């Protein structure tokens, strides 16, 4: 019998830290929970307009705030059926994301820019650059149905929000 020492291949997670493993696994688990909790029902096409919104599961934007808080952003892709064909649609001067806090709190994050570029058109939103963002953010908790609104100027909360101790405006 021959015994040999060799480095075993443990797959793609061999050199990753535990937080990196969590970050790689979470988009798949988030997708499973999103459908298990039936959170997609509010984004399906209605019979009147036929517009559907689906998270772009293939291209998450993952932002780790600190050791205990991470956010996953999935851009919503819109589509509509016209003349038997599915056509992609885009939002004007806005972007909607599925925002998931710590892999378990689901929000619809609607960013509406208050700035337009020199050609008087809307910038493309693939990944949101919060460092320079000017506009409104409406967060809607998909489970509790509570809504919060924040106003940003050049990536910073507006003064009125800071004076309130960074509290968000809550609407029902």
Residue 129 lies in a domain: yes
Q: Is residue 2 part of a domain?
A: no
> In terms of pLDDT, which residue wins out, 115 or 113?
113
Q: Greater confidence, 148 or 132? A: 148
Asked, for residue 100, whether it belongs to a domain, the answer is: yes
Position 83 in a domain: yes
| Structural tokens at position 147 | 């809504």
The gap between the terminal CA atoms of the chain, to the nearest Å, is 72
User: Is position 11 within any domain?
Assistant: no
If we measure between CA atoms, which residue out of 120, 124, 123, 98 comes closest to residue 27? 98
Q: How far apart are CA 108 and CA 19, in angstroms?
A: 25
In a domain, 6, yes or no: no
**Which domain, by its residues, includes 91?**
16-171
pLDDT tens digits for range 32-79: 999 999 998 877 766 566 788 899 999 998 888 888 888 999 999 988
Indicate whether 64 belongs to any domain: yes
- The pTM (predicted TM-score) of the whole model is 0.71
100 exposure class (CB count in 10 Å sphere: 0-12, 13-18, 19+):
buried
Report how many domains make up the chain: 1
């Amino acid at each position: 019998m021959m015994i040999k020492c060799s480095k075993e291949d443990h797959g793609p997670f061999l050199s990753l830290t535990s937080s990196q493993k969590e970050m790689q696994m979470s988009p798949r688990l988030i997708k499973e929970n999103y459908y298990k909790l039936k959170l997609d029902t509010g984004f399906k096409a209605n019979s009147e307009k036929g517009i559907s919104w689906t998270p772009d599961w293939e291209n998450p934007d993952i932002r780790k705030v600190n050791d205990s808080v991470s956010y996953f952003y999935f851009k919503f892709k819109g589509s509509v059926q016209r003349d038997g064909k599915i056509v992609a649609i885009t939002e004007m001067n806005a972007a909607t994301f599925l925002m998931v806090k710590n892999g378990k709190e689901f929000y619809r994050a609607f960013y509406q820019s208050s700035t337009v570029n020199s050609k008087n058109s809307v910038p493309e939103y693939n990944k949101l650059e919060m460092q320079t963002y000017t506009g409104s953010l409406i967060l809607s908790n998909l489970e509790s149905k509570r809504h919060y609104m924040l106003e940003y100027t050049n990536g910073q909360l507006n003064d009125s929000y800071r004076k309130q101790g960074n509290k968000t405006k809550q609407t029902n």
